[in-house]
Protein backbone atom coordinates (compact mmCIF):
# COMPACT_ATOMS: atom_id res chain seq x y z
CA UNK A 1 0.00 0.00 0.00
CA UNK A 2 2.84 2.40 0.76
CA UNK A 3 4.08 2.12 -2.84
CA UNK A 4 0.62 2.30 -4.36
CA UNK A 5 -0.10 5.55 -2.50
CA UNK A 6 3.37 7.05 -3.06
CA UNK A 7 4.39 9.73 -5.57
CA UNK A 8 5.59 8.02 -8.75
CA UNK A 9 6.35 11.06 -10.90
CA UNK A 10 10.06 10.14 -11.07
CA UNK A 11 9.17 6.89 -12.82
CA UNK A 12 6.67 8.47 -15.18
CA UNK A 13 9.35 10.67 -16.78
CA UNK A 14 11.97 7.99 -17.39
CA UNK A 15 12.74 4.31 -17.21
CA UNK A 16 11.74 2.65 -13.94
CA UNK A 17 14.66 0.20 -14.00
CA UNK A 18 17.32 2.73 -15.02
CA UNK A 19 16.07 5.11 -12.32
CA UNK A 20 16.21 2.48 -9.57
CA UNK A 21 19.64 1.22 -10.66
CA UNK A 22 21.06 4.77 -10.56
CA UNK A 23 19.61 5.75 -7.18
CA UNK A 24 21.89 3.52 -5.15
CA UNK A 25 19.46 2.91 -2.28
CA UNK A 26 19.13 -0.81 -2.92
CA UNK A 27 17.14 -1.70 0.20
CA UNK A 28 14.53 0.99 -0.44
CA UNK A 29 14.37 0.07 -4.13
CA UNK A 30 14.22 -3.67 -3.33
CA UNK A 31 17.36 -4.44 -5.33
CA UNK A 32 18.56 -7.75 -3.92
CA UNK A 33 21.75 -8.25 -5.90
CA UNK A 34 23.96 -6.33 -8.34
CA UNK A 35 25.99 -8.26 -10.87
CA UNK A 36 28.41 -6.92 -13.44
CA UNK A 37 25.78 -6.61 -16.20
CA UNK A 38 22.46 -7.25 -14.43
CA UNK A 39 20.67 -6.79 -11.13
CA UNK A 40 17.92 -8.67 -9.28
CA UNK A 41 14.95 -6.67 -8.00
CA UNK A 42 11.67 -7.61 -6.33
CA UNK A 43 8.59 -6.81 -8.38
CA UNK A 44 6.44 -4.04 -6.86
CA UNK A 45 3.37 -5.52 -8.56
CA UNK A 46 3.97 -9.23 -7.90
CA UNK A 47 1.96 -12.07 -9.39
CA UNK A 48 2.92 -14.07 -6.31
CA UNK A 49 5.01 -13.73 -3.15
CA UNK A 50 8.69 -13.67 -4.06
CA UNK A 51 8.11 -12.50 -7.66
CA UNK A 52 11.35 -10.88 -8.76
CA UNK A 53 13.07 -9.79 -11.94
CA UNK A 54 16.52 -10.03 -13.46
CA UNK A 55 17.25 -6.77 -15.27
CA UNK A 56 20.22 -5.81 -17.47
CA UNK A 57 21.73 -2.40 -16.75
CA UNK A 58 21.69 -1.79 -20.51
CA UNK A 59 18.50 0.01 -21.49
CA UNK A 60 17.09 -1.87 -24.44
CA UNK A 61 13.68 -3.16 -25.52
CA UNK A 62 14.61 -6.63 -26.71
CA UNK A 63 16.90 -9.57 -25.96
CA UNK A 64 18.29 -9.55 -29.49
CA UNK A 65 19.99 -6.22 -28.67
CA UNK A 66 21.89 -7.69 -25.68
CA UNK A 67 25.36 -9.18 -26.01
CA UNK A 68 26.03 -12.83 -25.15
CA UNK A 69 27.73 -12.01 -21.84
CA UNK A 70 24.66 -10.10 -20.62
CA UNK A 71 22.32 -12.89 -21.73
CA UNK A 72 24.49 -15.45 -19.95
CA UNK A 73 24.50 -13.37 -16.77
CA UNK A 74 20.71 -13.02 -16.91
CA UNK A 75 20.40 -16.82 -16.88
CA UNK A 76 23.01 -17.18 -14.17
CA UNK A 77 21.17 -14.66 -12.00
CA UNK A 78 17.83 -16.38 -12.67
CA UNK A 79 19.48 -19.53 -11.29
CA UNK A 80 20.67 -17.56 -8.23
CA UNK A 81 17.12 -16.28 -7.72
CA UNK A 82 15.58 -19.75 -7.98
CA UNK A 83 18.06 -21.14 -5.45
CA UNK A 84 17.36 -18.35 -2.95
CA UNK A 85 13.59 -18.57 -3.43
CA UNK A 86 13.72 -22.35 -2.91
CA UNK A 87 15.67 -21.87 0.32
CA UNK A 88 13.56 -18.98 1.63
CA UNK A 89 10.06 -19.94 0.48
CA UNK A 90 9.98 -23.62 -0.61
CA UNK A 91 7.77 -23.14 -3.69
CA UNK A 92 6.46 -26.11 -5.65
CA UNK A 93 7.63 -24.68 -8.98
CA UNK A 94 8.50 -21.55 -10.96
CA UNK A 95 7.44 -19.50 -13.96
CA UNK A 96 10.44 -17.86 -15.64
CA UNK A 97 9.99 -15.68 -18.69
CA UNK A 98 10.47 -12.50 -20.65
CA UNK A 99 7.54 -10.48 -22.03
CA UNK A 100 8.63 -8.43 -25.04
CA UNK A 101 6.21 -5.67 -26.05
CA UNK A 102 2.86 -4.60 -24.64
CA UNK A 103 0.96 -7.18 -26.69
CA UNK A 104 3.00 -9.90 -24.94
CA UNK A 105 2.11 -8.54 -21.51
CA UNK A 106 5.16 -6.38 -20.77
CA UNK A 107 4.32 -3.92 -18.00
CA UNK A 108 7.61 -2.09 -18.66
CA UNK A 109 8.04 -2.48 -22.39
CA UNK A 110 11.00 -0.15 -22.94
CA UNK A 111 13.55 -2.10 -20.82
CA UNK A 112 13.76 -5.87 -21.28
CA UNK A 113 13.74 -7.95 -18.08
CA UNK A 114 13.20 -11.53 -16.96
CA UNK A 115 10.52 -12.52 -14.44
CA UNK A 116 11.11 -15.27 -11.87
CA UNK A 117 7.81 -16.18 -10.18
CA UNK A 118 7.62 -18.85 -7.48
CA UNK A 119 4.49 -21.00 -7.64
CA UNK A 120 2.66 -23.22 -5.17
CA UNK A 121 0.04 -25.87 -5.81
CA UNK A 122 -3.30 -24.10 -5.35
CA UNK A 123 -1.85 -20.57 -5.41
CA UNK A 124 -4.58 -19.42 -7.80
CA UNK A 125 -8.05 -18.95 -6.37
CA UNK A 126 -11.31 -17.22 -7.24
CA UNK A 127 -10.05 -13.65 -6.55
CA UNK A 128 -8.33 -13.08 -9.94
CA UNK A 129 -11.35 -14.49 -11.79
CA UNK A 130 -14.13 -12.78 -9.85
CA UNK A 131 -12.58 -9.42 -9.01
CA UNK A 132 -9.36 -9.20 -11.06
CA UNK A 133 -7.48 -9.02 -7.73
CA UNK A 134 -4.43 -10.92 -6.50
CA UNK A 135 -3.82 -11.41 -2.79
CA UNK A 136 -0.18 -11.09 -1.75
CA UNK A 137 0.03 -11.80 1.99
CA UNK A 138 3.68 -10.83 2.50
CA UNK A 139 5.06 -7.28 2.54
CA UNK A 140 7.86 -6.78 -0.06
CA UNK A 141 10.33 -5.67 2.65
CA UNK A 142 9.73 -8.95 4.50
CA UNK A 143 10.34 -10.91 1.30
CA UNK A 144 13.47 -8.81 0.68
CA UNK A 145 14.87 -9.73 4.11
CA UNK A 146 14.00 -13.42 3.67
CA UNK A 147 15.87 -13.57 0.35
CA UNK A 148 18.91 -11.78 1.75
CA UNK A 149 18.98 -14.28 4.61
CA UNK A 150 18.67 -17.10 2.07
CA UNK A 151 21.93 -15.92 0.47
CA UNK A 152 20.77 -14.33 -2.78
CA UNK A 153 23.55 -11.73 -2.53
CA UNK A 154 26.32 -14.25 -1.78
CA UNK A 155 28.74 -15.68 -4.33
| CATH code linked to domain 2-149 | 3.30.428.10
Backbone phi, psi, residue 56, to 5° = -75, 145
- 87-112 pLDDT, tens digit per residue, is 999 999 999 999 998 888 888 889 99
List 51, 111, 113, 115, catalytic entry: 113
Rounded distance, CA 74 to CA 3, Å? 27
Whether 113 is a known active-site residue: answer yes
Among residues 31, 52, 35, the alpha carbon closest in space to that of 115 is found at 52
Q: Where are the domains of the chain?
A: 2-149
Task: Give the side-chain half-sphere CA count within 13 A for 102.
Answer: 0
- Within 10 A of 86 (CB to CB), how many other CB atoms are there? 13
The burial of 82, by beta-carbon neighbours within 10 Å (0-12 exposed, 13-18 middle, 19 or more buried), is given as middle
Q: What is the pLDDT of residues 39-90, one digit of tens each?
A: 999 998 888 899 999 999 999 999 999 999 999 999 999 999 999 999 999 9
Amino acid sequence: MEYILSDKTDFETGCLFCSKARQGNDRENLILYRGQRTFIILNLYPYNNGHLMVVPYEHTRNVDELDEATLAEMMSEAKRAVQALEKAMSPDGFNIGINIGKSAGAGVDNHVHMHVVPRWVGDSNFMPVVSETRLIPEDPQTTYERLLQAGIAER
